Structure 1
Amino acid sequence: MAGNTQAGASSTVIGFIGTGIMGASMAGHLRKNGYEVHVYNRTKARAEGLLQQGAVWHDQPKDVAKHADVVITMLGYPSDVEQIYFGADGLLNNARDGAYFLDMTTSSPALAKRISQEAASKGLHALDAPVSGGDVGAREAKLSIMVGGDTQAFEAVKPLLDIMGTNVVHQGSAGAGQYTKMCNQITIASNMIGVSEALAYAKAAGLDQTQVLKSISSGAAGSWSLSNLAPRMIAGDFAPGFYVKHFVKDIRIALDSAAEMGLELPGLKLAQSLYEQLIEHGGDNDGTQALYRIIAGE
């Protein structure tokens, strides 16, 4: 289904909806690998780079679905996903026969299951495939991609996922990708508190924060956030690789699903309160590393 990328252009047509910080890079990798890519984004300007690479623009999401064998969505919120997939103008009601849908948005596991069921009832294939790695991972095609859904559908689209990521894992049935992404976000949330506190402590102790990183990044304290986001904290670079507002959305999804399972997550609740403080101070559109500002009192 996904064609032979080694031979250049594939007969598979890809639709990509949501060409923001990460989506633009992800769609760009597919285009560079020879795929015909059709795109839609609420703000057309954010797709200009792709259009210059030869991507085809559509004014409506449903028109992307009408032209594509595989439709990838990379949106902001579960409400966006629900709106774009369902209804008369939704993707599922305007799809090609046998089309594949990959929702790579970090969204609700329950919604992923609903999309999968609705798709199957129409003879379509739907997978939830959220990612981790931020803007850097998207740009360098080194994303970690967590996939839920039918095994055969996963195998059919895996060549596409391999173009965008280096760690592509099928986690189980529909919703499993989203549940796994919540595990990822839960880990990051508490870890980001630790990274921020460590740097604030180093500064208060009169240490060179960059020198401290040299000692602790490769030891037992090492983490992706410490290696990639701590330098941005030190530099005062709070530009988004992943928006605070989207991270808070993810935290709420994780807490809601944990509550459904009767599970308490005190560390995640603490992270939620701190990030909500950051939003109150105007940090909605900062990167998640901006938590340092709250911890350090900057």
Structure 2
Amino acid sequence: MSVTNGRKKVGFIGLGIMGRSMAGHILDGGHELHVYNRTRSKADELVARGAIWHDTAGDVAAACDVVITIVGYPKDVEETYLGAGGIVEQAKAGTILIDMTTSSPTLAGEIAAKAAEKGVSVLDAPVSGGDIGARAAKLSIMVGGTEEAFAAALPLFQLMGENIVHQGGPGAGQHTKMCNQIAIAATMLAVSESLAYAKASGLDAKRVLSSIGTGAASSFLLNNLGPKMLNDDYAPGFYVHHFIKDMSIAIAEAERMKLDLPALALAKQLYEKLAAGGFGEEGTQAIFRVYGN
């Protein structure tokens, strides 16, 4: 089934900090939007704009040509897709299912195999860019699944993001997202330690950022989250507890591949310490608190 031309019935399940914006772009793109979320009030704005509410995720799947999900944890993904009355059970042959949750690569493969038995295509398509990227439709989207399903879904991806890359077969999108999260984990520690050192040495840390932010150390995290750290701005663009979930998935997959990732293990340990202190609902830049700030 192609979504290249015309208005399609698109389901969107999971209307959290990123999902609401992403679903809004689908609606703005002229498609008939069907929605479900565990907390119904989060769908109110979209329904007021013309989206159609359903009482279950399975009901959304039964009504749509394409179903997109972005839910919390792998257990939520598994229940939503493979549970009784869930998406795979209710989807019609020819439907394209797209999971944009950061989830387990192994689970992505299992869902794709189950859906294929019904003639249903599945793409695992996690994203990077946080709430800012979601609002601006500038997400990086990493996609696993068949080339045919990717080509069919590309016009929808283009409504939500800019850097959209097909990485390979089922699970490849999730593996790519793990690479992304591993790089972020170590970089967040490096940014925090750099700024903690600047403050301890008596430097003006904001002035330090103006120098190192354009040199070899320059990065999105340094230049965008570094100033937030120095301003004690820990509002979430991406929650600490969700990042811990992602790191846990990456470590489990690395262990399965017999790969040792010590920097990732340290980052997870420090973020867990942060969450244990009551800061799990803050943004990932709150790791700066661990360094005495």
Aligned partner of 1:2 in structure 2 is 3
Other-structure match for 2:121 = 125
1:38 aligns with 2:34: yes
**Corresponding residue for 2:285?**
289
RMSD: 1.0
Q: State the TM-score, normalizing by the size of structure 2.
A: 0.97
8 Å contact kept, 2:244–2:272? yes
Q: Secondary structure at the match of 1:92?
A: helix
Shift of 1:97: 2.5
Cα distance, 1:22 vs structure 2: 0.5
Contact 2:4 2:152 in 1 (8 A): no
Map residues 19-58 of structure 1 onto 2, 5 A cutoff.
19-58=15-54
* Residue of structure 2 equivalent to 1:88: 84
Asked if the contact 2:13–2:68 (Cα under 8 Å) also holds between the matched residues in 1, the reply is yes
Shift of 1:87: 2.9
Inter-partner Cα distance in structure 2 for 1:53 and 1:203: 48
Residues in 2 aligned to 1:261 and 1:292: alpha-carbon distance in whole angstroms: 31
Match in the other structure for 1:64: 60
The correspondence for 1:167, drawn from 163, 168, 181, is 163
1:237 to 226, 233, 237: 233
Q: Does 1:264 align with 2:260?
A: yes
* 2:189 alignment partner, one of 176, 186, 193: 193
What secondary structure does 1:145 align onto? strand
- Counterpart-to-counterpart distance in 1, 2:84 and 2:245: 27
Q: Which residue is equivalent to 1:7?
A: none
Bigger mean CA offset, 198-207 vs 77-86: 198-207
- The Cα of 1:261 is off from its aligned counterpart by 0.7
More divergent stretch after superposition (14-23 vs 224-233): 224-233
Structure 1, unpaired ranges of 5+: 5-9
Higher mean C-alpha deviation, range 84-93 or range 44-53: 44-53
Deviation at 1:264, TM superposition (A): 0.2
SS, match of residue 26 in structure 2 = helix
Separation of aligned partners in 2, 1:244 and 1:18:
19
Cα distance in 2 for partners of 1:156, 1:185 equals 27
Q: CA deviation at 1:220?
A: 0.8
Question: Offset of 1:199 from its aligned partner?
Answer: 1.3
In the TM superposition, residue 51 of structure 1 has moved relative to its aligned partner by: 1.7
Deviation at 1:276, TM superposition (A): 0.7
Q: Is 1:108 matched with 2:104?
A: yes
- Whether 2:150 is the aligned partner of 1:149: answer no
From 179, 187, 205, the equivalent of 1:209 is: 205
What is the CA distance between 1:206 and its match in structure 2? 2.3
* Corresponding residue SS for 1:119: helix
- Calculate percent identity across the aligned residue pairs: 57
Work out whether residues 4 and 153 of structure 2, in 8 Å CA contact, stay in contact via their aligned partners in 1. no
CA distance in 2, matches of 1:44, 1:248: 26
Give the conservation status (yes or no) of the 8 Å contact 1:3–1:12. Answer: no
SS at match of 1:101: strand
User: 2:142·2:173 contact (CA, 8 Å) conserved in 1?
Assistant: yes
Contact 1:3 1:11 in 2 (8 A): no
Cα distance in 2, alignment partners of residues 281 and 231 from structure 1: 23
Partner-residue secondary structure (3-state), 1:93:
helix
Structure 2: runs of 5+ lacking an equivalent? none
Cα shift readout 1:114-160 (whole Å, capped 9, x = no counterpart): 01001111000001000001111111111110000101000000111
Q: Of 167, 181, 191, which residue of structure 1 is paired with 2:177?
A: 181
In the TM superposition, residue 260 of structure 1 has moved relative to its aligned partner by 0.7
Query: What residue number does 1:250 align with?
Result: 246
Q: Which amino acid aligns with 1:40?
A: Y
CA displacement 1:8-67 (0-9 Å, x = unmatched): xx3211100000000011111111111111111111122222122211111111111111
Q: Distance in 1 between matches of 2:175 and 2:134?
A: 21
